[in-house]
Amino acid sequence: MMTENVLKVKNLKTYFHTFKGTVKAVDGISFELGKKEILGIVGESGCGKSVTGFSLIRLIEEPGKIVDGDVLFDDKNLIQLSESEMQALRGKKISMIFQDPMTSLNPIFTIEKQMEEVLILHSDLNKTERKNRCLELLGLVGIPNPKSRLKNYPYQLSGGMRQRVIIAIALATRPKLIIADEPTTALDVTIQAQILRLLKKLVKEENCSLILISHDLAVISNMTDRINVMYCGKIVESGKTNEVVHQSLHPYTDGLLKSIPRFSSETEKLDTIRGIVPNMFDLPTGCRFFPRCKFGQEVCQKEEPHLKEIATDRHVACHFPLNGECYE
């Protein structure tokens, strides 16, 4: 049975025009997101994953610009909407959870005031109804004694509690889509696990879809239904999470998986991907991963591989896809 699509992205391009040259941060990516689905976008720093998230909700600032593509959501092309139309959508039907809970909340306003602001802008609830909704949301994200917490300022909450408040704000208007950009980066490992479990639970209960952006493939593999692997502004592999993790097809995905530390009875040297991410002002010709690839051949240096479907819901941009290797 086909899954209903909440989001459809076609050939999205976001470039940054600077005095040094043009950075093609997002360079022609396409993907779809189903209802109640969790999609992971993963890659090294600088691969374009966060710019992708900001592009989807049109929060790209100068010198960045969306130069091409379509973002189809709720029967509308977001790229063609006016700024006032986008403002009506942001926070109501699409919410974003930002990276750092320590700076995402305003330090001079109470938690209640910051939660209520979204409801004032995007709902018809009266003051009593707004307060009840705030209490409901804090309970939903697992904050104890929510009535007293509403009167707190951000500095009175731990990092994990702040991130729960941010998630509560994102859920306030029951959005259809949540974009979470590295939502656990600033948190310790125990709190990270709690927040990720909470997000997964809320997606199912609140009937929304989630795009989870992270550099951590281990986190992505445990959280998502499907994965987009990005490198230098492009999607190099995509598919169902279980298939991508257990039978990777692109050498870059293979390298990311092998670099994840594993507990073993024997001492093993940690695998790494050789080299560094190329200068975005001076990208290699042909395949952008070629200088770091163990399997590259002459054609890889000359011709850029395009993302192609090689099985149902499996796509890879590689001239010589791997046969797949099991990572247990």
Q: What is the per-residue DSSP string for 56-103?
A: HTT-PPTTEEEEEEEEEETTEEGGGS-HHHHHHHBTTTEEEE-S-TTT
How deeply is 309 buried, as exposed, middle or buried, from its count of CB atoms within 10 A (0-12, 13-18, 19+)?
exposed
Listing from the earlier edge strand, what are the strands of the sheet with 226-231? 94-97, 177-181, 209-214, 38-42, 226-231, 234-240, 314-316, 308-311
Q: Can you list the positions of beta strands (E) in the chain? A: 5-18, 21-34, 38-42, 64-73, 76-77, 94-97, 177-181, 209-214, 226-231, 234-240, 308-311, 314-316
Q: Residue 184 — very low, low, confident or very high, per pLDDT cuts 50/70/90?
A: confident
pLDDT digit string, tens, across residues 188-220: 888 888 888 889 998 888 889 999 999 989 889
Close Cβ partners of 121 (under 8 Å, ≥ 6 residues apart):
91, 92
Residue 267's pLDDT is: 59
Give the relative orientation of helices 111-122 and 127-140 as an angle to the nearest 10 degrees. 120
Question: What percentage of residues in the chain have a pLDDT greater than 70?
Answer: 95
How far apart are alpha carbons 95 and 91 in whole angstroms? 5
Tokens of 2: 């086909």
pLDDT digit string, tens, across residues 64-112: 999 999 999 988 999 999 999 999 999 999 999 987 777 889 999 999 9
Residue 224's pLDDT is: 96
Q: Residue 261 — very low, low, confident or very high, per pLDDT cuts 50/70/90?
A: confident
Mean pLDDT across 213-241: 95
- In the predicted structure, residue 272 carries a pLDDT above the cut 90: no
Cβ atoms of 211 and 178 within 8 Å: the answer is yes
* DSSP output for 131-171: HHHHHHHHHHTT-SSHHHHTT--GGGS-HHHHHHHHHHHHH
- In the predicted structure, residue 54 carries a pLDDT above the cut 60: yes
